[in-house]
Structure 1
Amino acid sequence: MNSDALETQLKQFGLSEKEIKTYLTILENGEAKASTIADDTGVSKRYVYSICEKLEERGFVEVDDHVVPTKIRAKHPEDVIELLSGRLEEIGPALKQRFSETSSRPQRFDVIKSRVTVIKRLREYINSAEQELMVAVPQGYLPEVAAELSTAVERGVMVLLLVSDVDDPEAVLDGVESPVGSVVRVWNQGMPILLAADEQLGIASPAEMVTRANSDDRAIALVQGQIVPIIAGSFLANYWPFAEELYITDPVELPQSYRSFRHAVLQATLHDHAEATIHARATAQPVTADGEFETIQGTIVETRQGLVEPRTNTIPIEHTLVVETEDRTISIGGPDSFLEDYEARKVTLEHEE
């Protein structure tokens, strides 16, 4: 790396041009007097002391003012590299917290005209899910996506599966070797085919698109962070509460961290049903202000949810952890909450010690 490239890289760590020239001069000499540095950099001796104090604060040099004249010593490059790497690791969680995953996905809106494409897109979006997945399909077409649903469950995705057009609930999972959902419900009524994955990927299709040959109906597939939550809300409010619960997964081993708040609520509820006392640590901010995120810790004393029976929420979209901290009891919801005291970006669940 030549001098220009090295200077450019050092600027990335917030050093000014004069600080860089001073630091490189000290590096080349290993140890130098302020007067030597002043001669090499063309700045005053007094200013050299000021710059070197800043470099010392940053961890690049050591200023030995116990000798006369004062000596400025470059720290070993390996120590500086380790220091800079540590600082990058420290800011990593904050960067990840502020990063919006929606910005990394190109927005897309497709009109689908064929059954084959509907099934293909269902499989594609199920395979893309990383945190949570809501799917509604007719019973006759569950085998078309069963393998993909099982794989999603295996990789830790919360899968809410609603199977419609069911005549015999006991036969729905016949021939299915692995769990196809974290929670599975069945309904004897017909309903649209719906999918909402990670609040980013969505599908809405009339059931006739896959159940009837030569249908003139059209389906919609979209990658759109503003619209997919509407599909998820419709799924949870208009269909899920009226379906019969067929299967519920066992609670997972803790500790576990969740960016899907609903998944955290589901697991907290399952552990509560198993009479376990669970501790929550949430990265959250008050819903009434755009303040700094803080860490809230405490014992979960209640969950309000409609993911599994018995339902404990007052409206279908309410999914809440009620946490008792050292000095108060607060309610925590997911991103963009308005019913709770805090909205959380990440939740870690662990057994109470």
Structure 2
Amino acid sequence: MDDATLAARLEQLGLSEKEVDTYLSILRTGEAKASEIADDTGVSKRYVYSISESLEDRGFVEVNDHVVPTTIRARPPGEVIDALTDQLTEMETALADRFADTDREPQQFDVIKSRVTVVKRLSEYIADAESEIMLSVPQQYLSEIGDDLAAAVDRGVLVMLVVNSTTRIDPTDVEGKAAVARAWEQEMPIMLTVDGQYGLVAPADMVLRTNSDQRAIAFVQRQIVPILSGSFLGNYWPMATELHVGEPHPLPETYRSFRHLVLQATLRLRADEPVTFVADVAPVQATDDPGHIEGQVVDTRQGMVEPQTNAYPIEHTLVVELGDETVTVGGPGSFLEDYEANEARLS
């Protein structure tokens, strides 16, 4: 650490600029007379005495005023650090006694300047996921968040993963880390959406090059995150190559992510297994009151697994047979289907 950085750190501990200069002068000699320190720092001898008394009170030096002339001796740095640590620990207890822990809303927008913070924020958002994750990430960073993704999959979260690499990716590298994973050889940004609420975008340069001055943005806003999800599904997901599709979940199961429900119904239908759909629904176009439907799933429209069967990237739809009629059901905010559902059950 150079002198300028060391001086800045000492000032953060509450020392003034003159106190820092005086202390560093004493450190260089170990022990010196006030007149010698005054000559070295360019301040008066009287001022050196005043500063030295302040430094002694803080535990940085010892003033030997029982000898003539008076000398000031630096305390061993290890002792100084121990004393400062004890003071901070004592202060931590006092602060904790006065701290009122309240639930705080995360910042809506946060500019991130370092790659380390990007990875940390990815881990935090993934750990908080309850229903759905969409993520694109370079292969070399998959190991750093792989355990978080695996834990999310174990919680029943739908994880749609795009791994970016210029070399071939072994499918075993993503097993257990995603419900569906794809690979893309082109450079792409890190993108993350969680539960339609949390989002993060980081330029590829920021995480791949140590000297990049680019910035990432994390945000918490339900109006913006779906736009990022749409970009992920429409611009990146279709361009990537399918790498891994997980096994279907045991049924019955209730889903909060409608896309996850559509994925599971698709996998069951492709295995020629009958699937029943049960949900409280609301009509999309009509003014009818919300109702309850239960019927046989006969088809899906989706773009999560190959072959793609939807007409639009955001279309993820169930086709349900209700005895004498067949209806379509989508998730919250649907406008293409007959009904929308917030939560539904497959069996």
Moved more, 207-216 or 281-290: 281-290
* Corresponding position of 2:302: 305
User: How many angstroms does 1:110 deviate by?
Assistant: 0.6
Determine helix, strand or coil for the equivalent of 1:135: strand
After superposition, the C-alpha distances for 1:307-330 in whole angstroms (9 at most, x for unaligned) are 001110011111000000022100
SS in structure 1 at match of 2:342 = strand
SS of equivalent residue, structure 1 residue 169: coil
1:105 and 1:272 map into 2 onto residues whose CA distance is 42
Shift of residue 144 of structure 1?
1.3
Deviations along 1:89-142, one digit per CA (max 9) or x if unpaired, are xxxxxxxxxxxxxxx965611111111110010000000100010010011111
Where does 1:174-323 land on structure 2 (aligned, <5 Å)?
174=173, 179-289=176-286, 291-323=288-320
Among all aligned residue pairs of Structure 1 and Structure 2, give the percentage whose two residues are the same amino acid. 55
Which whole-Å CA distance do the structure 2 matches of 1:272 and 1:150 have between them? 26
SS in 1 for 2:341: strand
Say whether residues 1:165 and 2:165 are aligned partners: yes
Note the C-alpha offset of 1:209: 1.3
Instruction: Give yes or no for the alignment of 1:156 onto 2:153.
Output: no
Q: Following the alignment from structure 1 to structure 2, what is the Cα–Cα distance between the partners of residues 166 and 157?
A: 28
The code of the aligned residue for 1:244 comes to T
Report the 3-state secondary structure (helix = DSSP H, G, I; strand = E; otherwise coil) of the residue aligned with 1:151.
Answer: helix
Contact kept, 8 Å, 1:166 with 1:186, in 2: the verdict is: no
**TM-score (normalizing by structure 2):** 0.68
Q: Distance in 2 between matches of 1:165 and 1:347?
A: 36
SS at match of 1:236: helix
Root-mean-square deviation over aligned CA pairs: 1.6
One-letter amino acid of the structure 2 residue matched with residue 339 of structure 1: L
Which position in structure 2 is the counterpart of 1:134?
134
Residues 140-191 of structure 1: per-residue CA shift (max 9 Å, x gap): 1111111100110111101001001241133x644x6x61101110011111
Corresponding position of 1:59: none
1:35-58 Cα shifts (integer Å, max 9, x gaps): xxxxxxxxxxxxxxxxxxxxxxxx
Deviations 1:235-266 (A, max 9, x none): 11100011111111111110000111000000
Query: SS of the counterpart of 2:126?
Result: helix
What is the one-letter code of the residue matched to 2:167? Answer: D
Q: Which amino acid aligns with 2:344?
A: V
Q: Residues 280, 105 of structure 1: CA spacing in aligned structure 2 closer, same or farther, 3 A cutoff?
A: farther
| Residue aligned with 1:345, SS | coil
Q: C-alpha distance in 1, partners of 2:245/2:233?
A: 16
TM-aligned CA deviation for residue 214 of structure 1 = 2.4
Tell me if the contact between 1:105 and 1:223 (Cα under 8 Å) persists in the aligned partners: no
**Per-residue CA distance 1:303-352 (angstroms, 9 max, x = gap):** 000000111001111100000002210000111111111111111000xx
Q: Is the 8 A contact 1:285 1:292 kept in 2?
A: yes
Q: 1:145 is paired with a residue of what secondary structure?
A: helix
Q: Which amino acid aligns with 2:135?
A: V
Mapped partners of 1:105, 1:335: distance in 2: 24
| Cα distance in 2 for residues equivalent to 1:292 and 1:125 | 36
Deviations 1:169-225 (A, max 9, x none): 33x644x6x611011100111111000110001001101111110211111101111
Match of 1:339 in 2: 336
Number of aligned residue pairs: 244
- For the structure 1 residues 275 and 137, does the alpha-carbon distance in structure 2 shift closer, same or farther, using more than 3 Å as the test? same
Runs of 4+ in structure 1 deviating by more than 4 angstroms, as ranges, are 104-107
Residues 14-29 of structure 1: matches in 2 within 5 Å?
Answer: none
Measured in 1, the distance between the counterparts of 2:146 and 2:139 equals 11
- Structure with higher Rg: it is 2
Q: Could you tell me how far 1:292 is from its partner in structure 2?
A: 3.4
Distance 2:325 2:268 in 1: 23
For 2:323, the equivalent position in structure 1 comes to 326
Residues 38-187 of structure 1 mapped to structure 2, 5 A cutoff? 108-170=108-170, 173-174=172-173, 179-187=176-184
Deviations 1:268-299 (A, max 9, x none): 00101111010001221111146532111110
Residue 134 of structure 2 aligns to a residue whose secondary structure is strand
